[in-house]
Amino acid sequence: MKHGNVEFDTYFKNYPDANGYFGKYGGSYIAPELQVAMNEIAEAYQTICKSSKFIAELRRIRKEFQGRPTPISYLERLSNSIGTGVQLYVKREDLNHTGAHKLNHCMGEALLAKYMGKKKVIAETGAGQHGVALATAAAYFGLECDIYMGSVDIKKQAPNVARMKILGARVIEVTEGLATLKEAVDAAFTAYCKEYKDAIYCIGSVVGPHPFPMMVRDFQSVIGIEAREQFISMTGELPDAVVACVGGGSNAMGMFSGFLNDPVNIYGVEPLGRGNKMGDHAASLTYGEEGVMHGFNSIMLKDENGEPAPVYSVASGLDYPSSGPEHAFLHDLGRVKYDVVNDDETIEAFYTLARLEGIIPAIESSHAVAYGIKLAKTMGKGSVLINLSGRGDKDMDYIIEKYGIR
């Protein structure tokens, strides 16, 4: 299948290129001493992670420890309640060990760290899901683990902070700026610059300098590979549409990668938060422009000085002023349509899925559910597969306090 001048039959061979570019997006914009460390990781990824020993070990871990494959569930009551005849399905990454997709790349990154002889893993976290997943991987492989987290998110995601500590990680509070995800990435990068000889930076999404966007996508592609096979065996056909929420974009890239070469409409959902005024949302692909941040070129939200703009979303995991370079590429190409849902629509979808299906979704994933419902209302027939990236246990206290029980 072709889109613009891109041939999707051979897409994964050609994107990213050897320097980490998806078209004009991606690359590596970092200090020379850190580039040495990135080259080491890129080289290790190409050799170690492509070896049959590594692949066999990761497969075993996914099956025996993570509980993969995660199932797809048909949402019968929700589909009936919409009443257009459109069938809704969810890929249950909420049932992946630790409750979200993040463990898919964390086990891969930590296994790579182990093969490279590193002693420590370092990362940022927003919602705490990546932090919990990495703390879990570090405990599993016997590595030290430092997690940087903004003080706003520490308060909002208290259960995940406790989980990281129980798992033996150090949670380092970041108080600069808005004290959310962007500042946590800044702090984790700074720490990594000092410690790169003994540590590896395990980035939490398909962002950062090459090779992270490629590496995280490849580790997350298990979602799309499983989902495509499962959906066809359940229904005998492909879904008409696939939907995922986009923060940095890892769960979405994992899901989308399975369907890029298929006649399937693909939708990435960004957080519109309180509205479309700058500072009230984090819809970077929808409202942003080209720019470099955290070592990669992508589409980002900028303030009047060209710096990353302040962003907001009810979902800590989507609260980031940019998205991975591959999303920027797919956006410009028109292969994926990026759209938005706001906080209110998200909270409504959170309760709808809980009440009609007995699944409490993460507030990030609720964005995808809200969009899937909206989309199903506009379609006359067909099917929509939503990536349910995580479960909502971490969000319950916050939602009850802010929105009450509906």
Ligand X SMILES: Cc1ncc(COP(=O)(O)O)c(C=O)c1O
Give whichever of 82 and 216 is closer to ligand X, judged by the CB atom. Answer: 216
Looking at 183, 284, 389, 394, which residue is catalytic? 389
114 is catalytic: no
Looking at 93, 124, 357, 364, which residue is catalytic? 124
Q: Which of 98, 136, 251, 257 binds ligand X (CB under 6 A)?
A: 251
Give whichever of 248 and 291 is closer to ligand X, judged by the CB atom. Answer: 248
Give whichever of 87 and 327 is closer to ligand X, judged by the CB atom. Answer: 327
Give whichever of 260 and 362 is closer to ligand X, judged by the CB atom. Answer: 362
Decide: is 247 part of the binding site for ligand X (CB under 6 A).
Answer: yes
* Alpha-carbon gap, residue 235 to 228, rounded angstroms: 11
Q: Which of 135, 145, 245, 309 binds ligand X (CB under 6 A)?
A: 245
Q: Which of 362, 369, 386, 399 binds ligand X (CB under 6 A)?
A: 362
Decide: is 129 part of the binding site for ligand X (CB under 6 A).
Answer: yes
Q: Which of 41, 49, 72, 100 binds ligand X (CB under 6 A)?
A: 100
Decide: is 205 part of the binding site for ligand X (CB under 6 A).
Answer: yes
Q: Which of 257, 297, 298, 365 binds ligand X (CB under 6 A)?
A: 365
What's the chain look like in SS3?
Answer: CEECCEEHHHHHHHCCCCCCEECCEECCCCCHHHHHHHHHHHHHHHHCCCCHHHHHHHHHHHHHHHCCCCCEEECHHHHHHHCCCCEEEEEEHHHCHHHECHHHHHHHHHHHHHHCCCCEEEEEECCCHHHHHHHHHHHHHCCEEEEEEEHHHHHHCHHHHHHHHHCCCEEEEECCCCCCHHHHHHHHHHHHHHHCCCEEECCCCCCCCCCHHHHHHHHHCHHHHHHHHHHHHHHCCCCCEEEEECCCCHHHHHHHCCCCCCCCEEEEEEEEECCCCCCCCCCHHHHCEEEEECCEEEEECECCCCCECCCCCCCHHHCCCECCHHHHHHHHHCCEEEEEEEHHHHHHHHHHHHHHHCCCECHHHHHHHHHHHHHHHHCCCCEEEEEECEECHHHHHHHHHHHCCC
151 is catalytic: no
Instruction: Tell me the C-alpha to C-alpha distance, in Å, between residue 251 and each of 80, 96, 242.
Output: 27, 12, 12
The sheet carrying 199-201 orders its strands as: 170-174, 144-150, 120-125, 199-201
Select the span of 164-172, 192-200, 244-252, 396-404 touching ligand X (CB under 6 A).
244-252
Closest CB 104 distance from ligand X, rounded Å: 10
Decide: is 389 part of the binding site for ligand X (CB under 6 A).
Answer: yes
* Alpha-carbon gap, residue 313 to 343, rounded angstroms: 7
* Total number of residues that touch ligand X (CB under 6 A): 21
Select the span of 15-23, 24-32, 125-133, 295-303 touching ligand X (CB under 6 A).
125-133
Closest CB 254 distance from ligand X, rounded Å: 8
205 is catalytic: no
Closest CB 184 distance from ligand X, rounded Å: 11
Decide: is 246 part of the binding site for ligand X (CB under 6 A).
Answer: yes
Which x/- pattern, by CB under 6 A, does the window 143-182 give for ligand X?
A: ----------------------------------------
Decide: is 288 part of the binding site for ligand X (CB under 6 A).
Answer: no
Within residues 306-345, the interface with ligand X by CB under 6 A covers 317-318
Decide: is 364 part of the binding site for ligand X (CB under 6 A).
Answer: yes
Give whichever of 49 and 318 is closer to ligand X, judged by the CB atom. Answer: 318
Q: Which residues are catalytic?
A: 102, 124, 389
Binding site for ligand X (CB under 6 A): 100, 126-127, 129-130, 205, 245-252, 317-318, 362, 364-365, 389-390
